[in-house]
Structure 1
Amino acid sequence: MSADRPMAAAGFVFAAMFFLGFFDNLVRQIAPELGLWQFHLMRSVIAFGLFGLIALTGRARFRPLRLWAVMARGGLAALAMLFYFGGLGFLPLGQVASGMFSAPIWVMLISALFFGKPIGAMRLGAALVGFIGVLIVLDPFSEGLRPAVVVPVAAGFFYALGAIATRQWCEGESAMSMLLAFFFWLGVFGALGTAIMTLWPHHVPEGADGFILRGAVWPSGWALFITFLQAAGSIMGVGLLFRGYQLGDAAQVAIYEYSLLGFAAIWSFVLYGETLGSGAVLGMVLITVSGVVISLRSQGRANADKLPA
C-alpha cells in the first residue's frame, strides 16, 4: 500500500469542490427553462456518451464486482442528487450545500440505530452544533414555515445512506463502476419523472418555480450547453474527489469537502452577485466544525476498534 500524501489529497479535493461549486451554480441558469427530471435524463445521456469515450481508452474498469451492491448504492446516491438539484432550482447553492452537509449527522445516527455503534458525548454535541448550523443557514421560519428547506436536508439523508452503502457493500469497487450506476439511476428517475410530469395534467408555475413540476420541453442551445457542462463537470469533479481519497486518509479527506461551502458562496457572488449575511457565515462555520469533529471522532473510534484486545 502506498504512503498517504495528505497535501496532494487536499489539493485534489479542493480542486473538486472548486469546480463543483461552479458547475452546480449553473443549474440556476436552466431552472427557468428545463425541468428537474428532463435535466437529469439529458445529463445522464451525455454522461454515458462520455463514459463510452473513456472506455475506449481501456484505462477504466466499469464492470462491478458485486452488481447488486453497486446498483443499490447508485440508487441511493441518485436520490440524494434528485433532492440536491431540486433545491438548486430555487435556493442558493450555499443553502443547499449546507443541507447536504447534514450527512455526517445522519451517518452517525443511522450507524447507532441500525449497526449498534455508540455515539459518545463529543459526537452527540457536535451533531447538535451541526443541526443548529443547518437551521441558521436554511432559516426555515424567515418567511413563515417553508417546506422547501426540507429538500436540502433530505439530500443529506440520502447522501448519508449512500455513504454507508459505499462503506458496507462496495469495498474494492472501482470509481467508474459506481459512477456508471449512479448516472444509470439518475437517467431512470429522470425518464420516469419526465413522463409523469408531461402526461399528468397539472399547473406548472413560470420560471424557476416550475423546475420540479415541469415536463418535457424542447431545450434551447444554451440549456443543452449548460447540461453538457454539468455532466462533464460532474465526472471531472467526482474523479478528482476519488483521487483525493486514494491519496489520503478518508476521515481527513472528508473534512476537505466542506470547502464546497466556501466555494459555493464565492461562485454565487461571482455569477449572481449574492452575498452571505453574518448569520449564514456563522451557520456554515458551525456545520464545518460539526463535520470535522464527527469525522475525526469516528475515525478515532474505528482505529480503536481495530486494535488487538
Structure 2
Amino acid sequence: MTTTSFAPEANRTVTAAMLILGYALAIGFTDNFVQVIARDSGLWQFFAIRTAFGLVILGLVAAAFGWRLRPQNLWAVAARSALHGAAMIIYFGCLGFLPVAQVAAGLFTAPIFTQLIARFAFGVPMGPFRIFAVILGFCGALLVLGPGQEAAIGPLTTLPLAAGALYALGNIATRQWCEGETAQTLLMGFFASLGIIGLFGIAVLAIWHPEVPTGTDGFILRGMVWPSGSFLYWTFVQAAGSLLGVGLMIKAYQVAEASRVAIFEYVILPASALWAYFLWGDMLGGLAIAGIAMIFAAGLIIALRGR
C-alpha cells in the first residue's frame, strides 16, 4: 500500500524535472543567440517582430487545442504583463552586452525579491532560514555580477537585478490579481505587452534619432531597420523557443507540486552557461560559478521552506 501511494507522486516529480530540463535547454539555447540578433538590429524591433511570430504560433496552437485566450480580468492581466514585460526589456537588453549566465543569474534573484516584497509590503513574516536565503542569494548575485566576471560592479552590471525585482513583482501580481486566468492567457498577455513596448520604442526612436553605435553596442538605441534573413530566422527561433520552453514549464507546474518544480527551475543557470560554452566558448570564472551556486542554494532554501 505504501509503495503504490508514493510511486505516482515520484513519477510526477520525475516527469516535472524532465519538463523543466527541456524548458531550460530551450530557453538557454535561444537566449544565447540574442547577441547575434543584436549585431544589426534593435531591441524594440526584435520585441515587435518576436511578438508577431509568437502570437501567430500561439493562435494556431490555441485553435488546434481549443484553448481559451480571452482574459477574465483585462486590467489585471495587462498590469501583470506590463511588469513582466518591463523585466524582459532589461533582461533582453542586457543580453546584448552581458553573458547569458550572468543575466539569467540576475533574473533568478526574483524569489529573493519576492520574499523581501512580501515581508515589507504585505507584512508576511520571514523566519531565520528565509532571511539567511535572502542574504546568501544577494551575496551570490554580487559575485556573479561583479568580481565573478572580473569587472567592477556598476549601473550596467546591476541591471539584471532590476529585472529580477520587476519579475518578482509580476509573480506577486500573478497570485494576487490573476487568479482563475489560464496559463495561455497570461502567456498571450506577456507576448502582447512586449510587442506594444517594442512598437512604442520604435516610434520614440523614429522621432528622437539618437547616434547609434555599431554592432551590439547599438542594440538598445537602434530603431527600425530593414530586417536581415539572419534576424528574421533567429527571432522566429526565439519566439518558438520561448513558447516551447514556457509551455514545458507550465506543464511541469501542472503535474507536480509547485514548491518542487521551483527548485528544478534553477537548472537554467548551468544550462545557459553550458550553451554559452558550447556555442561561443564563453567560460565563467570560479567566483561566478560560486555565485550561481549560492543563488541556486538560496532558491532551494526558499522553495523547501515554502512547502
Same fold (TM over 0.5): yes
The aligned counterpart of 1:6 is: 13
The aligned counterpart of 2:298 is: 290
Cα deviation, 1:175-212, whole Å, max 9, x if unaligned, reads: 11001111111011000011112320321111101111
Tell me by how many angstroms 1:168 deviates: 1.4
The aligned counterpart of 1:280 is: 288
The answer to whether the Cα contact below 8 Å between 2:105 and 2:269 also exists between their aligned partners in 1 is yes
**Which of 206, 228, 234 is the aligned partner of 2:236?**
228
The aligned counterpart of 2:137 is: 130
Calculate the aligned-residue CA RMSD, in Å.
1.4
Cα deviation, 1:218-237, whole Å, max 9, x if unaligned, reads: 11001000000001111111
Q: Distance in 2 between matches of 1:201 and 1:175?
A: 38
SS of 2:289's equivalent?
helix
Q: Distance in 2 between matches of 1:37 and 1:113?
A: 34
Give the TM-score normalised by the residue count of structure 1: 0.93
Cα deviation, 1:93-131, whole Å, max 9, x if unaligned, reads: 000001001101110010011111011221111111111
Give the TM-score normalised by the residue count of structure 2: 0.93
AA aligned to 1:228 is F
Cα deviation, 1:61-91, whole Å, max 9, x if unaligned, reads: 1122222222211111111111110110000
The answer to whether the Cα contact below 8 Å between 1:86 and 1:151 also exists between their aligned partners in 2 is no
Greater Cα offset, 142-151 or 20-29: 142-151
The aligned counterpart of 1:166 is: 174
Q: Distance in 2 between matches of 1:114 and 1:139?
A: 29
SS of 1:147's equivalent?
coil
The answer to whether the Cα contact below 8 Å between 1:198 and 1:214 also exists between their aligned partners in 2 is no
AA aligned to 2:244 is M
SS of 2:157's equivalent?
helix
**Which of 136, 146, 165 is the aligned partner of 2:154?**
146
Q: Pairwise mapping of residues 242-281 of structure 1 onto structure 2 (< 5 A)?
A: 242-281=250-289
AA aligned to 1:168 is Q
Aligned residues, how many? Answer: 297
Q: Pairwise mapping of residues 1-80 of structure 1 onto structure 2 (< 5 A)?
A: 4=9, 5-80=12-87
Q: Pairwise mapping of residues 293-308 of structure 1 onto structure 2 (< 5 A)?
A: 293-297=301-305, 299-300=306-307
What runs of 5+ residues in structure 1 fail to find an aligned partner?
Answer: 301-309
Greater Cα offset, 31-40 or 196-205: 196-205
Cα gap change, 1:114 to 1:145, in 2 (>3 Å): closer
The answer to whether the Cα contact below 8 Å between 2:146 and 2:152 also exists between their aligned partners in 1 is no
What runs of 5+ residues in structure 2 fail to find an aligned partner?
Answer: 1-7
